[in-house]
Structure 1
């Protein structure tokens, strides 16, 4: 059973350290405060399911962790890097080298084959074996026979598997997944999540999983609930409790 709420506390070895994190955006009706002083500490190797109602700030938190948006206030360190001190090129290198991202909408390049899509982050890193490693990564997600297919020739589940292969191919320390089954039916989504958790376990990757599905979040040993821009609960489950029935 989950333990009592365990507030995040600073830790020098944390992979993620957020303190007083605030994020607001402007709009026609004025500024909207999305994150309101959020604190979160994540240790290497943890799997965390983040849940909460729509508009609570889950995806905004993920965008900040990925360096795709910048915090309005507070401090945020990821993989030992103070994100506020990094320029856009440095943030891009951090994502390339340390962070994998899987979105609900796949975000594959439609004019590239599966192999080319997966090879992109390795090519940016100057890896001469980019295509060989891309082929290996696609084989790991069961798509070794789809190397030369374009996204439009693949099913939704296959496209998300390509996205998984691309996200894991560089061996990231941190995997960010935002509603990765949102565009898939239940059976296909379950298969994709089995792959995600299998890859995460194989590589020892820290996982932050944004989901509206409490059952999916329960596959992580730690569940964090966000409401109105703040963490309202932070619980852990034993490995046995986290195994789905």
Structure 2
């Protein structure tokens, strides 16, 4: 693999819990190629979401090195990580994390405005139309279904045209029909923007759409890792 977009070298993560220090990830070494779609699977508590958060700079490795786009995330402070995410990443969560006092259009446009994008509202409108919400621009999250809210979250993640898309159980809170629609939209956004996609999923049909699937077990990469 030449010039991976993501490179993890012997990464471990431990966090302080009520019962003391908890070891979450152990010695993860992993490369992801530019343009690849990588699925992270495994039982609950295996460390999938924690690994995704490390890739997004939302958690800090306890040891090892996390490199994204040639930059060492473990060497950045919080402000540097926030700017790096803003400029290079789109993140989609299982819970939609929309601002309830903003319309769909504002939820997508305001982060772009804060990043200094001059055509923020025009770009936000185009992204919402691309996910089928052209008629819902002025609706607030409480006025939308779960599937519609996840579409807004996808548009918000894709609007900055990121090089890396991270998705944590993007279909987890949705029924089968909406989950299938979000899966199609996620793959379309990936292709339209030429992004590398890393996603956590329990859905076999979503994992089957990935170029490669990595299984985690007890905070370690499974030695029986399988390709989709």
Q: Shorter chain as normaliser: what TM range?
A: over 0.9
Ranges of 4+ aligned residues in structure 1 off by more than 3 Å: none
- What is the rounded CA distance, in whole Å, between the counterparts of 1:154 and 1:212 in structure 2? 25
Q: What's 1:99 paired with?
A: 89
Q: Deviations over 1:19-56 (max 9, x none)?
A: 11100011222211110101110011000111001110
Q: What CA distance in whole angstroms lies between the structure 2 residues aligned with 1:43 and 1:234?
A: 17
CA RMSD of aligned residues (A): 1.1
| CA deviation vs aligned residue, 1:180-203 (integer Å, no higher than 9, x gap) | 111110011101111111111121
What whole-Å deviation, never above 9, does each CA across 1:106-163 have from its counterpart, x for those lacking one? 0000000101100122112111210010000101001111111110111100000000
Identify unmatched segments of 5+ residues in structure 1.
1-10, 238-245
Identify the residue that residue 178 of structure 2 maps to in structure 1.
Answer: 188
Say if 1:50 and 1:223, in contact at 8 Å, map to a contact too. yes
Select 1:206's aligned residue among 182, 196, 200.
Answer: 196
Aligned to 1:63: 53
1:216 is displaced (CA, Å) by: 1.5
In the alignment, which residue of structure 2 is the partner of 1:4? none
Kept in 2: contact 1:222–1:234 (CA 8 A): no
Partner Cα distance (2:49, 2:40) in 1: 10
Instruction: Please list every run of 5 or more consecutive structure 2 residues that lacks an aligned counterpart in the other structure.
Output: none
What TM-score does the superposition give when structure 2 sets the normalisation length? 0.97
